[in-house]
Structure 1
Amino acid sequence: MSNVPANLQYSKEHEWVEGTGGNRFKIGITDYAQGALGDIVYVQLPKVGDSVTEGAVCGEIESTKSVSELFSPVTGTVVAINEQLDSAPETLNSDPYGAGWIAEIEVSAPSTSLMDAAGYSALIG
């Protein structure tokens, strides 16, 4: 059973979004996603200053099973990245909702497709 915190919003591509104040939001991958990927060995992060678009590819996650694209769940500008993931990508497996956050984005347009925890739980069954 995957952990789905009630205080977050979720995309159909298995990313989570958490407000950090104002128009800034942290993003990461869900517990369900990290479980499906298996042991994560490399993460290609967006760069600070990059513009990202909801639903578009903004990075890559490599695991012992596969290489998967990371999709931005929101539209805006990257204002911070989790540099710890360069040396410890396995943090996405061990703490996907905490120390395993991927980027912080200043959102320029609100998302209309994010789900609450109940909606995401229904999606993943």
Structure 2
Amino acid sequence: MQSNRSHDTKPELALRRALHARGLRYRVCAKPLPDLRMKADLVFRPARVAVEVRGCFWHGCKLHCRKPSANSDYWTAKIDRNIARDLKNEMALRQAGWLLIAVWEHEEPSAAAAEIDKLVRDRRSP
């Protein structure tokens, strides 16, 4: 399990390249809120937008996550805990006035970047 990357994954790097090409600048692997234990993959502080690139297996994608055949009780519980943690973090960010955008690893990076670009620019302008 140590070889699984927590950041700088291929989907995350592709999204970062697409956002950078659109002229957006961001913090990488940063805490949106100091008291929250979560680090978002991308943080746009002035706009109060956090972006999380989620793996289909680890975060229970409804389209691609399938029940593991080996040690299924452990992995099912683990994925359920991850989903619950994601919801808890999203609620904490929302209460603090932040927007959390979840981008799934199977999404097209350029389409996700276009959506993020629009939301960040809308939240920046008064």
Determine which structure has the larger helix proportion and give its number. Answer: 2
Scaled by the length of structure 1, the TM-score of the pair is 0.32
Structure ID, larger Rg: 2
Scaled by the length of structure 2, the TM-score of the pair is 0.32
